[in-house]
Structure 1
Amino acid sequence: MTTSTLFESAVERLDHEADPIYQAFGGDRRVRRSDNPKYLQMLGEAERFMDEILFGTRPLAHFAEAMSTSDFPQLFGDSLDRQLYGAYMATTPTWRNYARAATVNDFRKVKRFATSGIRGQLQKVGELSEYPERAQTETEYEYAVSKYGATFAASWEAMINDDLDMFRRLPQDLADSVVDSEEAFVTGLFCDTSGPNASFFTSGNGNLISGNPPLSRTALQGAITTLMKRKDERGNPIVVTAVELVVGPGLALTAQEIIDTTEYRVQDGSNLRIITGNGLAANLRLNINYWIPAVATSANADTSWWVFASTSSARPAMEFGRLRGYEAPALFEKIPDARRIGGGAEDMVDFATDGNAKKVRHVYGGTTVDPKMSVGSNGSGS
């Protein structure tokens, strides 16, 4: 109704201003519109057109030609609603909780030594008898760091067309790659395609849980007890004050449920015992390592689990080392070798190719150390 009123008022205004309008468009100002049959015919058609729109009797097909985007291939050729999805989040590193971080001086092999020491209970010495002499053994570990990196390049044309700032995000992707690479490297030290690393977790080392039990409260208590009862070469107890449970995402909910459970009910014959507290959470921390399924490509990826002694212990289960002075990853951008004649803003591109390149460099390495500081199971039950 509002549209009809506006239309009628506009017609009346044009009718009153017939002389100037006709004169502007070359018409005969002496002939008024109200006296022009053609004008009256067109006015009637316009009124019918408006009435059909207002009352919904005008077919939509009459508008198809006016509303088609095919007549404007350049104007509507690309979407005006364009968004760039965010990058996947980098994994949260967990390796620092169960592998000792170290620094090395150069690319040559570094050596780490562990000795049995001479700690032990004193023996009774008889009158005029010699004191028993003690000897110690030593174990050597070695590894070398290596250089790792990646690069990407973009053309000048691509950077000009980058209205979504995609290339500004790529340096952050390189930095996140460092986080993923460190976690993946340490995961490869204790994990292989079948679960616990077969060369490190063995029955001979005493760190492969017998029977490879699935993760449960009973199995976890047994693994922690095994660590707590460790002894050194001389039979002295090894003090373990805290442990780290490491699982892949396939066991994350199971592990969290075990830790969060605060009450157990045990049927003992005709008696029901209620145990408050799980006896685990106080000295146990859960670590969800998202790189385990990427390394353990077998079905055991969703069932394998590990328990490590805290890195505060005298000897770690693993060591991860970075190059001294380059502990943090280094991001680089190629310096442009072109200068615009006449001055002005410089283009950060290569003279020969109009390209822009960036890279990341990181230096690290590591090795397994003491098998006594960990236990593992592939969870297969066999």
Structure 2
Amino acid sequence: MTEILIYGIVGDSWDGLDANTLVPLISAGDDDLHIRINSAGGYVMEGLAIFNAITREKAKGRKVTTHIDGLAASMASILAMAGEDIVIADNALIMIHNPWDCACGDATELRQAADKLDRLRDQMVGIYAARTGLSAEELIPLLDAETWFTAVEALAFNLVTSISTAAITAAALDVSKFGFRKVPESPRIAAMALGTPRTAPAVPQQKGRIMPPEGNDTTAGNLAPDTITTEAAQALANKAVTAERTRTTGIRALVEKHKLPSALADTLIADGKSLEEARAAILDKLAEGGDAVGVGHSGPAVVTQDARDKFKIGAVNSIIARAGLAPMLQKAASITGKKIDLDPGEFRGIRNVELARMALDMAGIRCASYDRKEIVGMALTARAIGGQQTTSDFAVLMENTMHKVLQAAYAITPDTWSRFCGIGSVSDFRAHKRYLRGTFSRLDTLSEDGEFKNKTIPDAAKESITATTKGNIIALSRQAIINDDLDAFSALAVELGRAAKLSIEADVYDLLALNSNLGPLMNDGNTLFHASHLNIATAAAPSMAAFDALRVLMGSQKDVSGNEYLNITPSIWLGPLSLGGTAKSINGSEYDPDAANKLQKPNIVKGQFSDIVDTPRLSGTRWYGFADPMIAPAIEVAFLDGVTEPFLDSEEGWKIDGTEWKVRHDYGVAGVNSRSAATNAGA
């Protein structure tokens, strides 16, 4: 006996539930085949491939039994129909509904997408009809309504052939993430997950769903699983089908009689309205006096992954894998804390030309007679040819890949500016003010006559920062794409990402280097570091005494009104590489490293700086102290709209035979607070 478990999303390659994995397993043997199902559904085309593989084995004479151990919803219910015998656990569920998809584009594209869904629905209806004996007219309303069946109800509708006692607990499924509109309430889900027998069926969730008629006689739904008989179930099914036919034909007759749109009948049937409820709804429509009839349901839009989505993701990941860039992207993801899936799946190892051919096929462009250069050329311009805008076009795939690599290279490129500069945001390219408001210092004592004194709000000092755009255009030739020259591709992307990150680094240090390393001019006309700003220490090499003097200097700063001390403390040390080791030693030593004797004098500045930043971009003997940039930044890097990463755009090359990419980065660098930093010229 061969037993295959489909516990998860149908078509999920990560869990080995895709057609590529399951079909060979299904076809491998010639013994009895048992398929065990506990799934909320999955990909339609993957599911149909698996369904057809199972039916082929059945046609060969193999005994095929499908077992519904917990849930067979959506596409998983189709797989269940493939069995010669379909056995459902007494506490399991089946759900049937229409196929879902997402689409974007113009009206023609959307109509084509809707037509595709209708064709898929017809395929599913045909499978259900072959099993149950119900007609398409009877099944379609059930799919429209998203109908859930208990084991008893499933047997009554011939969706299964028998019910078994739940001896083995199926893994509980969290179906909340699948966008189902009418999931049964927790008692039924709990019964399914825990495998506990129920004394009576749960209340149906689908209003008006076909259920056993009420009466004093014992129905199949009230019998324990061991006492359910085929005769009772069949009798129940016959009554339910007759009642449903009466309901649907009656509603359609009422709608036609009052000359209302047939879509209203479809809605009333799909919503499970009884004849009485339908009459009331029709009267409401007639009372609207000719207003447009609003039809449809307000269920949530559900976005699922179709073949185009899978191609887009898989093709991008294939290029990344073949370029050897996956480790870099994984490192970047760990730095940024983002989750990343780099599995190319079925597109693993496929060359660029074949990816271009696939992109054209999905755009409806046949290219069997074209050579490689023509294929790549057409793929790079497929959006214009097809008159469509779709993210599966080859040019955009290349752009998406370049963008991912660019962002990863940007993330992993080390910098030092972010350790001592604040990060801000601006909304446009105008000069934006950064205000430093004064304080009241203290409240005045109430006068003897009980009069409160008026207090003037102190003037605020202001600095400004302006964002500018930096960027370049680079090109990837058609020959490089055809030759699968991924080294050129990866080198371009990585260097662009590094350049974007290092541009900020260079600009920050260029700002510090202005005016003989005293920084930019501030609003008062003086440099960032200036005697009038009280932030230049007596020249001295790094030492315990010099560090403490810097602490005193920064801690003595007052607000712009001169009323109150700011209590600013140095947090970041910045200097050239040649002084970095000394600074780390002083900052980390338990005892004064400058003491001439062995009396173990305590180091009074131990741990004064939370970070020691040394860089080859500084030279000489000058060093700096900065306050924590999260609290009181002295230098700010402001990004347009807060977007800290570079932007990438592409277009078909005109001067070159290939694709051009434009990379831009919108940011500005400025000194914003002279009180938050101090400098020492060194010795």
Q: Could you say whether these structures have the same fold, taking a TM-score greater than 0.5 normalized by the shorter chain as the test?
A: yes
% same residue: 24
Q: Give the one of 439, 457, 466 matched to 1:144.
A: 466
- Show the counterpart of 1:21: none
For 1:194-233, list aligned pairs within 5 A: 194-197=516-519, 199-210=527-538, 212-232=539-559, 233=561
Alignment correspondent of 2:676: 373
Summarize deviations over 1:190-241 as a string: whole Å, max 9, x none: 333733327211111111223x322223212211221123222333221235
Q: Which residue, out of 657, 661, 681, partners 1:354?
A: 657
Aligned pairs (5 A) from 1:35-74 = none
Deviation at 1:244, TM superposition (A): 0.8
In the alignment, which of 433, 442, 464 is matched to residue 121 of structure 1? 442
The 1:362/1:266 distance shift into structure 2, 3 A limit, reads closer
Aligned match for 2:629, one of 303, 307, 311: 311
Tell me the distance in 1 between the aligned counterparts of 2:502 and 2:654.
34
Q: 1:178 to 1:107 in 2, by over 3 A?
A: same
Q: Which residue pairs with 1:79 in the alignment?
A: none
Match of 2:647 among 326, 330, 336: 330
Corresponding residue of 1:18: none
Is residue 413 of structure 2 the alignment partner of residue 110 of structure 1? no
Alpha carbons of structure 1 residues 267 and 191: separation in structure 2 relative to 1, 3 Å:
closer
Q: Is the 8 A contact 2:554 2:569 kept in 1?
A: no
Q: Which moved more, 1:173-182 or 1:257-266?
A: 257-266
Cα distance in 1, alignment partners of residues 481 and 420 from structure 2: 43
* Inter-partner Cα distance in structure 1 for 2:624 and 2:654: 54
Gapped regions of structure 2 (runs ≥ 5): 1-327, 329-408, 521-526
Question: Offset of 1:282 from its aligned partner?
Answer: 4.9
Q: What is the alpha-carbon distance in structure 2 between the residues aligned to residue 332 and residue 214 of structure 1?
A: 49
What is the CA distance between 1:310 and its match in structure 2?
0.9
Instruction: Answer 1 or 2: which has greater strand percent.
Output: 1
Structure 2 counterpart of 1:244, from 572, 587, 592: 572
**1:246/1:306 contact within 8 Å kept:** yes
1:95 is aligned, of 393, 400, 417, to 417
> 1:195 and 1:352, CA in 2 relative to 1: closer, same or farther beyond 3 A?
closer
C-alpha separation between the residues in 2 aligned to 1:267 and 1:170? 53
255-264 or 176-185, which deviates more: 255-264
CA contact (8 A) 2:529 2:678 kept: yes
Contact 2:439 2:564 in 1 (8 A): no
- For 1:262, which of 547, 565, 590 is the aligned residue? 590
For 2:630 and 2:667, locate their aligned partners in 1 and report how far apart those are by CA, in whole Å.
21
Is the aligned partner of 1:181 residue 2:464?
Answer: no
Kept in 1, the 8 Å contact 2:590–2:606? The answer is no
Larger Rg: 1 or 2? 1
Counterpart residue identity of residue 673, structure 2: D
- The Cα shift of 1:308 comes to 0.7
2:474/2:660 contact within 8 Å kept? yes
| Structure number having the greater helix percentage | 2
Q: Report if aligned partners of 2:650, 2:662 keep a CA contact under 8 Å in 1.
A: yes
What amino acid maps onto 1:142 in structure 2? S
CA contact (8 A) 1:229 1:238 kept: yes
Whole-angstrom CA distance in 1 between matches of 2:610 and 2:552: 12
TM value normalised by structure 2: 0.36
Q: Cα distance, 1:374 vs. partner?
A: 0.7
Q: Which runs of 5+ in 1 are unaligned?
A: 1-85, 293-300, 337-349
* Distance in 1 (alpha carbons) for counterparts of 2:601 and 2:633: 34
Task: Specify the SS of the correspondent of 2:582.
Answer: helix
Q: CA deviation at 1:363?
A: 0.1
Distance change >3 Å, CA 225–CA 274, structure 1 → 2: same
Could you tell me how far apart the structure 2 residues matched to 1:164 and 1:360 are? 19
CA distance in 2, matches of 1:364, 1:132: 45
Output the CA distance in 1 between the equivalents of 2:645 and 2:429: 16
| TM-score, length of structure 1 as denominator length | 0.61
> Which residue matches 1:285?
611
Distance (Å, rounded) in 2 between the aligned partners of 1:312 and 1:145: 20
RMSD: 3.1
Pairs aligned (count) = 267
Give the corresponding residue for 1:165. 487
- Shift, 1:167, TM fit: 3.1
Q: Which residue of structure 1 lines up, in the alignment, with residue 46 of structure 2?
A: none
2:455 corresponding residue in structure 1: 134
Distance 1:325 1:231 in 2: 30
Larger RCO (CA within 8 A; separation ≥ 6):
1
